[in-house]
Structure 1
Amino acid sequence: MGETSVEYVVIGCYLAVLVGVGMVFRRFNENVSDYFRNGCKGTWWLVGSSAFMTAFSAWTFSGAAGAAYEAGWSVLVIYLANSVGFAINGLFLAKWFRQIRAITGPEVIRLRFGISTQQFYAWMSFVMQTLYSSLHLLGLAIFCSAVFGYKIEQVIVVVGAVVLIYSLIGGSWAVTATDFLQTLILIPITILVGVLCLVKLGGVGALFQGIQNMGLSSAYGVFNAPDQFPLRAYTYAWAIAMLLKNVIGYNTLTSAQRYFLVKDGREAQKAAWLGFVLMTAGAFIWFIPPMTARLLFHAEVMAVDIPKAAEAAYAIASLNVLPLGMTGLMVVAMFAATMSSMDSGLNRNAAIFTNDIYPTLCRLFGRAAMQGKSLMRLGQVFSAVFGVCIVSIATYFANTEGRGVFEHMLNIGALLALPMAVPALMGLFIRTSPSWAAIVTVCVTLIPSAFGFFSAELFGETWSFQQKVFINLTVGIVVYLLTMPFWNRTPEVYRRQAQDFFDRMLTPVDFEKEIGIPNDLRQLKIIGSFAAVIGGVICTLVLLPNPLIGRLGILFVGGFVLGVGGVFIWLGKRSELEAPRIEAAD
């Protein structure tokens, strides 16, 4: 069996396992709460790993790797800013978010600002989630086509279909379970690639020496001079802007939904701290390969036929250092990074339409909305429709001259993200703002955001990233604050609603009274079993012809996944044995 055949077998087995996860976890779904937020029974390690996986896409191994290839350690700022966002969640906000007791982000907006603002955010979020999911899928397909030789349409259809199947069947339970399993694979494979790159270089000291020998010490500094890169990128101002943007993105009312799945506030904080640990560790591991590619494989990287060749740096480094059979797992890691974003987007989109848009449309047309299991089935129908839309949009652009449109639409997303985030952050801490404060703030802030987007055409000079962030933040904050004097003119009903929101958010969750019986043991045993199977299959790759270091690398990855699976199975069985003893003692 040739190397390409081994890769396809590895990828095929992995995708089959994901579908199997969806089939198993469909038994966990009885209603909308189960289907869209794990019935609030998700364990902290399950939800924390899912939050970590959805925090990035394959862009980490392409776009961010390209930035590391050009600017070295500067790219750490992006991911350490994510870590700061997780840390703030862990300190107190994750607990607050869980205690809101909602299903979707727009529902949180309704509880805080009312129905009009909810509908505004619901439709905006719905469109953006669909767009981002299709663009992530297309970006993965274009990258895999150029670097690994896969056909773009095949990647789109196969990956999209697999995500649709397990998300449709298993709901958020399948989404979080697959995210956890993908985390188990991502961690050891990226560690292995990083270590093998250092071995190829001759050690950590050789990495720094190579940077110095190639005259990259200045460009690879964490902070750079304003004239080092275009648009004053990777400077102190750029780093501050990136920190503000990412931290705000992690700590708004609309970002609360990642913690609705856990049992209570304490579990939510633990999930956030897990995300912090994984993101921080990853920041120092993920970008060794692209820097290695700059030092050792520069010509190969520049020969890749994609719009920005530097974005192939991680893949080229992986292809040069990984043993036979492990390239397929590296592709799996890249698939995982995108699939985790796509499956969460798909599930959240279906939740928004089912929970926020559909009931409003029913009221508008005088129809009775579905309830219970019927509503859950409707959510599954919405999931199927949105999944087909995502695959269709990605396929459409893949078959047209849509590469430029692809970049343009990503910029449109950036145009809207910060203006929508500012009031969602302010409303979390400021109680005395009118119900229309968020909509007005978004609309006004979109004006300077549009100026920044079209700055080259309007002013003859493109605004830098930091200019856009500082201007949009300043305008958004000022506008929101200017709405506060109107609080005294708001109806008493709205004032009570705002007070009820904050009381609700600060009231601890009583899991036994509000939710009922946990299913931690089932989660441990099922996910542990899947992990053990995956780890065992990976270990069989040691039979392929490889040098000793390659075989050891395979055993490290397979052993890591198998070991975690074994520990989970053991913990599940031990807890089962201890439960009767505790009940007898009571």
Structure 2
Amino acid sequence: MNGLDWTVLIGYFGVMVAIGFWSHKRVDTVSDFFTAGGKMPWWLSGISHHMSGYSAVMFTGYAGIAYTYGVTSFVTWSFPIALGIAIGSKLFAPRVNRLRSRLHVASPLEYLKNRYNLPTQQALVWSGMLLKIVDVGAKWAAIATLLSVFTGVSLNQGILITGAITAVYCTIGGLWADALTELGQFVIQLLAGLSMFIAVVAKLHDKDIGFLGAWDQPALHGHGRPLVGPYGTVFLLAFLFIKLFEYNGGMLNQAQRYMATRDAREATRSARLSAALWLVWPVVLFFPMWMSPLLVHAKKPDGSDSYALMTEQLLPHGLLGLVVVGFFSHTMAMCSSDANAIAAVFTRDVAPVLSRRAREWGRRPALVAARVTTVVFLGLSMSVATQVNTPAFKDIITVVIKWVAGLMGPIAIPMMLGLLRRFRRSGPTAALTSWAAGLLAFWLVNYPINWNVHGGVPLQYQVSVPLAVSLVLYIVVGYLRPEDTPERLAVIERINTDDDGTEALAVPVPAGAGDDVVGTGTPDRT
């Protein structure tokens, strides 16, 4: 990078911080900080939902998969996400929105105390927060890896720089700052992605290969196959289920985008926009990665540096800086939204359980606690990022695929399926059994069993077994030991009906609950 590239990068950081300060004026309550007060337009929510699902892992870990295997990077990653969000636009998005509009909660996990009980809520809350720290740590490590390629700064310096900038704007402005910066980041990503796409097509033309003729080159032999290597049919099906839960609320930050819209209908439109973007835009981003074996020779065994090397070679200064900004935009979008979600969970679901004073927080103390929690979460995730490439985690893509995807099912299944009438019989026993057995299955297939199987347990089973165990037990235990009490049925009905629905059941909410108090009283039939 030269002075022009650095100017673009520093200018981007400045705009992000400015948006944070501008958004600060729109944040008066915890509800504003965590769910934008339910005033976010559906199109902004949809773009924010889409952007908060990316990170620099796409340009490192998934670039390595594209470099090594080809189009399976799209077929087994962004396509399942698009399909999962499309299904969830009708199945989950309106129900998640009603958590705010009907139950007056500000955290995606806040309703679990009434849907199940306090121990179940706390089990899911703590395991979800710990998983998020590891997940975001991998994202910081990914962007620091790219930054080191372009600028020569160390990994730890890169983690510190990106984390500090993100902490400023998302701590000051809350979800409004996240969404507005993600809108700007989407525009930057659009320009950067198209620049790289055009540069690669032009380079292929210069080599007399052509846009379509590239697939006939020996270096891309087998790269057109949709399922290859460890990414087979079982992996695809498991990933579809995982992404169905994860990107519709299981990872918390996407749930906030649905909660931030005005009503359930707008939440559905938001999800559909995000699904369409996930289906189309990643193809533009992935095409240069699929062509990378023809243009560069990766230095790392997993090919994770291939996209960065190709960017350096093909783009002039200025555009190079824009693409680097695109890398930052992905990671900062996801990490800031995760930080906001975890702050919501801790402030609303954990602190009141640990401290009596927290249960009595007024508007101002609650907002201060939310901001402090955001900074603490970012600090912890940055600490984990420094350990991502150690033997404990192996590498970035291992963390993202094996750890996050493998652990997502046991945590998300009780939360997401608990929204649906069909699973009303599944209560605290089913939820805790599903959660605990899924975590145990993850440990068994990744460690004791993996160590004693020649060649190790295939990746597709490391990911799918915990999900399958949790899903089956949640359903079976709910059938064998139903716990559909009137109180729990009341909560489910409130989530599943609109205000004009004749089947709606009322949950009493204390006066003033719309801003900073959660309606946690015993729900009654009406």
TM-score of the pair, normalised by structure 1: 0.78
Of 21, 25, 28, the residue aligned with 2:26 is: 28
What residue is the counterpart of 2:346 in the other structure? 353
Q: How many Å separate the matches in 2 of 1:171 and 1:156?
A: 21
The alignment's C-alpha RMSD in Å is 2.6
CA spacing shift, 1:269–1:415, aligned 2, 3 Å: closer
What residue is the counterpart of 1:189 in the other structure? 192
Q: Judge which range, 454-463 or 51-60, deviates more.
A: 454-463
Query: What is the CA-CA distance between 1:341 and the residue it aligns to?
Result: 1.4
- Does the 8 Å contact 1:130/1:349 carry over to 2? no
What residue is the counterpart of 1:419 in the other structure? 410
Q: Judge which range, 64-73 or 375-384, deviates more.
A: 375-384
1:377-400 CA deviation, whole Å, 9 max, x = no partner?
221122233333333443x538xx
CA spacing shift, 1:381–1:327, aligned 2, 3 Å: same
The one-letter amino acid of 2:233's match is Y
Query: What is the CA-CA distance between 1:414 and the residue it aligns to?
Result: 4.1
Q: How does 1:42-61 map to 2 (within 5 A)?
A: 42-61=40-59
Q: How does 1:266-281 map to 2 (within 5 A)?
A: 266-281=265-280
Q: How many Å separate the matches in 2 of 1:515 and 1:440?
A: 32
Asked whether 1:221 is paired with 2:225, we answer yes
What residue is the counterpart of 1:397 in the other structure? 387
CA spacing shift, 1:458–1:327, aligned 2, 3 Å: same
- Does the 8 Å contact 1:292/1:317 carry over to 2? no
1:421-479 CA deviation, whole Å, 9 max, x = no partner?
33334323311122221111111122322221123313333222322344333322321
1:542-578 CA deviation, whole Å, 9 max, x = no partner?
xxxxxxxxxxxxxxxxxxxxxxxxxxxxxxxxxxxxx
Q: How many Å separate the matches in 2 of 1:92 and 1:426?
A: 10
1:336-355 CA deviation, whole Å, 9 max, x = no partner?
11111110111112111110
What residue is the counterpart of 1:67 in the other structure? 65
Query: What is the CA-CA distance between 1:486 and the residue it aligns to?
Result: 5.0
Asked whether 1:373 is paired with 2:364, we answer yes
Q: How many Å separate the matches in 2 of 1:464 and 1:483?
A: 29
What residue is the counterpart of 1:170 in the other structure? 173
Asked whether 1:473 is paired with 2:448, we answer no
Query: What is the CA-CA distance between 1:183 and the residue it aligns to?
Result: 0.8
Unaligned runs of 5+ in 1: 517-586
- Does the 8 Å contact 2:34/2:174 carry over to 1? yes
Q: How many Å separate the matches in 2 of 1:74 and 1:148?
A: 31
Of 121, 125, 130, the residue aligned with 1:127 is: 130
Q: How many Å separate the matches in 2 of 1:205 and 1:497?
A: 66
Equivalent residues, number: 489
CA spacing shift, 1:502–1:29, aligned 2, 3 Å: same
Of 425, 432, 439, the residue aligned with 2:432 is: 439
CA spacing shift, 1:380–1:241, aligned 2, 3 Å: closer
CA spacing shift, 1:391–1:245, aligned 2, 3 Å: closer
Query: What is the CA-CA distance between 1:14 and the residue it aligns to?
Result: 0.4
Q: Secondary structure at the match of 2:224?
A: coil
Unaligned runs of 5+ in 2: 501-511, 515-526
- Does the 8 Å contact 1:434/1:486 carry over to 2? no
Asked whether 1:245 is paired with 2:233, we answer no
1:224-261 CA deviation, whole Å, 9 max, x = no partner?
4xxxx3xxx23333333332332232345665333111
What residue is the counterpart of 1:580 in the other structure? none
Q: Judge which range, 198-207 or 287-296, deviates more.
A: 198-207
Of 455, 464, 481, the residue aligned with 1:461 is: 455
Query: What is the CA-CA distance between 1:51 and the residue it aligns to?
Result: 0.9
What residue is the counterpart of 1:208 in the other structure? 212
Q: How many Å separate the matches in 2 of 1:143 and 1:463?
A: 31
Q: How many Å separate the matches in 1 of 2:424 and 2:282?
A: 36
Asked whether 1:508 is paired with 2:498, we answer yes
1:353-382 CA deviation, whole Å, 9 max, x = no partner?
11001111124xx87521222211221122
- Does the 8 Å contact 2:170/2:336 carry over to 1? yes
Asked whether 1:161 is paired with 2:164, we answer yes
Q: How many Å separate the matches in 2 of 1:509 and 1:188?
A: 42
CA spacing shift, 1:215–1:348, aligned 2, 3 Å: closer
CA spacing shift, 1:55–1:189, aligned 2, 3 Å: same
Query: What is the CA-CA distance between 1:76 and the residue it aligns to?
Result: 1.4
- Does the 8 Å contact 1:90/1:270 carry over to 2? yes
Q: How many Å separate the matches in 2 of 1:495 and 1:205?
A: 66
What residue is the counterpart of 1:321 in the other structure? 314
- Does the 8 Å contact 2:444/2:450 carry over to 1? no
What residue is the counterpart of 2:504 in the other structure? none
Q: How many Å separate the matches in 2 of 1:237 and 1:336?
A: 32
- Does the 8 Å contact 1:40/1:515 carry over to 2? no
CA spacing shift, 1:471–1:377, aligned 2, 3 Å: closer
- Does the 8 Å contact 1:99/1:509 carry over to 2? no
Q: How does 1:60-139 map to 2 (within 5 A)?
A: 60-77=58-75, 78-101=77-100, 102-139=105-142
Q: How many Å separate the matches in 2 of 1:277 and 1:515?
A: 35
Q: How many Å separate the matches in 1 of 2:296 and 2:145?
A: 21
Q: How many Å separate the matches in 1 of 2:327 and 2:248?
A: 27
Q: Secondary structure at the match of 1:107?
A: coil
- % identical aligned pairs: 26
What residue is the counterpart of 2:477 in the other structure? 483
- Does the 8 Å contact 2:95/2:419 carry over to 1? no
Q: Secondary structure at the match of 1:164?
A: helix
Q: Secondary structure at the match of 2:10?
A: helix
Q: Secondary structure at the match of 2:173?
A: helix
Asked whether 1:264 is paired with 2:292, we answer no
Q: How many Å separate the matches in 1 of 2:463 and 2:124?
A: 21
Report the structure, 1 or 2, having the larger helix content: 1
CA spacing shift, 1:127–1:475, aligned 2, 3 Å: closer
Highest CA radius of gyration, 1 or 2?
Answer: 1
What residue is the counterpart of 1:384 in the other structure? 375
